[in-house]
Structure 1
Amino acid sequence: MDWQWLPEFLKGMIQPVLAMAVVVLAVVLSYLQQLGLEWEMVYSIFRAFLQLSVIGFVLQFIFNQKNAAWIILAYLFMVTVAGYTAGQRAKHVPRGKYVAGASILVGTAITMFLLVILRVFPFTPRYIIPVAGMMVGNAMTVTGVTMKKLRDDIKIQMNLVETALALGATPRQATLQQVKRALVIALSPVLDNAKTVGLISLPGAMTGLIMGGASPLEAIQLQIVVMNMLVGASTVSSIMSTYLCWPSFFTKAYQLETAVFSLD
């Protein structure tokens, strides 16, 4: 492995270390306001620093490889972590981690497949891994919210669902309104972000390109692609999660699984 880039990397870390001054300011303010968040702030920043440093070395290694298996391996690792995290948010959904992981995998894989087939991005680590990371991160958030909201809504409106079942509705028909509400709530932040992008804030991908020396027009072109793929991946993942998780809310006799809704 070529380590000639290491001195330049260490030199470039001077700015991130100097930027720790703003964290010190936050810690001091937390102490003065008696928030009790000082150690959590320090731990969070230290963990972020360590994780990003490690992933930097890992990505440097993967970028230098010619084997596509490393791309797939990195992608599956991100999906696994995202599925676990989303499942933690919806911890009362049976097999929530597996449902979230499968939903994120399907949504992001379909989106990424279309991007590659349409030649929007070449299938290389330098493009696919950052793109996959953005899609998986957004799909993780949306999927977790969808699953949690769906379960909570069904719990609140159990009488309505049971009445619909008694009248002959299928579980999917009986929970149609709850599914729609969960999807709308989960996807609203993604859509709102797309509506206001560039007006309120400059997204990370666009900002990174501009700071890296690219022209604003080039950055805008990439950001449009990014927003499109985030909306697509998040929508597919969230819808898939409703199809995968709602059967666990019902018995084989099409009755509500009360044990699932007795947990708080």
Structure 2
Amino acid sequence: MTSNLPIGPLLATVLLALVAYAALVAYAGGLGLHRQIVTASLRAALQLAAVSMIIAVVLRSGALTAVFVTLMYVVAAVTAGRRVSRERAGHRVAFTAIAAGVAPVLALLLLSGLVPLRGITVLPIAGILTGGAMTATSLAGRRALDELRTRHGEYEAGLALGLLPRDAALEVCRPSAAQALVPALDQTRTVGLVTLPGAFVGMLLGGAGPVQAGAVQLLVLIGLLAVQATATIVTIEFVAAGVVRPAAR
């Protein structure tokens, strides 16, 4: 891997080949996601091109950095909200869960001084944490609602035994929804052995030593666990409280 990736026809050709390969594999395997793979890839290319053009300007201003972080939060919440439920309440869940996960962790990192209050450090850390909260919220919400829909009889049995609606819902959906933390746990367990995550590689490419890069990556991974655990719990609580309900069967 190199920090001087050649930008030109070769890169475009390889990217197109990878998109085509991924789409063909999804199509041949009957996953039904081949079109989404293509559109997601195109969106990523356009969005990264736009961000690459404005990021240098954004990082020069604390106010612009704050606006960009807020934009990331809104986009993440809207995306997760759509995944959780087609109803407007899904957005309410996502906005609250992501904020509850990211805000205390980001505040701790900034107030402790471990993450300097500069755009070039705040923006990537905030993006990583927000992205992790978005993923956890989406997975936890969808799994919880799926469980309540498919195991509705067990939920009603819990009510018949005298459980409150919230407690009966938690008994049904909490174990499955907690699986939203599995990707983060696996990444943390295998870091350095199976994967070298972006923060570690980025620090090395930026000239930092291996120990410094490892310390930053550890801080990011542990922070992500805290963010995603909080977002997952908040999402499950919203589902159990009936703020969002399973789609009709």
TM-score greater than 0.5 by the shorter chain: yes
Question: Residue 52 of structure 1 corresponds to which residue in structure 2?
Answer: 48
Q: Which of 7, 21, 25 does residue 15 from structure 1 map onto?
A: 7
Distance 1:246 1:15, change over 3 A: same
Residue 140 of structure 1 and its aligned partner are, at CA, apart by 0.7
Structure 2 Cα separation of the partners of residues 39 and 161 of structure 1: 37
Distance 1:199 1:117, change over 3 A: same
Structure 2 Cα separation of the partners of residues 28 and 221 of structure 1: 37
Structure 2 Cα separation of the partners of residues 28 and 168 of structure 1: 55
- Mapping of 1:1-264 within 5 angstroms? 14-15=6-7, 18-26=10-18, 35=27, 44-65=40-61, 67=62, 69-91=63-85, 95-248=89-242, 260-263=245-248
In the alignment, structure 1 segments of 5+ residues that lack a partner are 1-11, 251-259
Assess if the C-alpha contact under 8 Å between 2:200 and 2:217 holds in 1.
yes
Distance 1:262 1:135, change over 3 A: closer
Structure 2 Cα separation of the partners of residues 32 and 153 of structure 1: 31
Structure 2 Cα separation of the partners of residues 34 and 155 of structure 1: 27
Amino acid of the structure 2 residue aligned with 1:181: P
Distance 1:32 1:84, change over 3 A: closer
Higher alpha-carbon Rg: 1
Assess if the C-alpha contact under 8 Å between 1:93 and 1:245 holds in 2.
no
% identical aligned pairs: 29
Task: Compare 26-35 and 139-148 and name the one that shifted more.
Answer: 26-35
Amino acid of the structure 2 residue aligned with 1:191: L
Distance 1:28 1:173, change over 3 A: closer
Question: Residue 8 of structure 1 corresponds to which residue in structure 2?
Answer: none
Task: Compare 191-200 and 55-64 and name the one that shifted more.
Answer: 55-64
Aligned pairs, how many? 242
In the alignment, structure 2 segments of 5+ residues that lack a partner are none
Please, what TM-score do these two structures have when normalized by structure 1? 0.80
Structure 2 Cα separation of the partners of residues 154 and 263 of structure 1: 11
Residue 249 of structure 1 and its aligned partner are, at CA, apart by 5.9
Structure 2 Cα separation of the partners of residues 17 and 226 of structure 1: 35
Please, what TM-score do these two structures have when normalized by structure 2? 0.84
The Cα RMSD (Å) is 2.9
Residue 150 of structure 1 and its aligned partner are, at CA, apart by 0.7
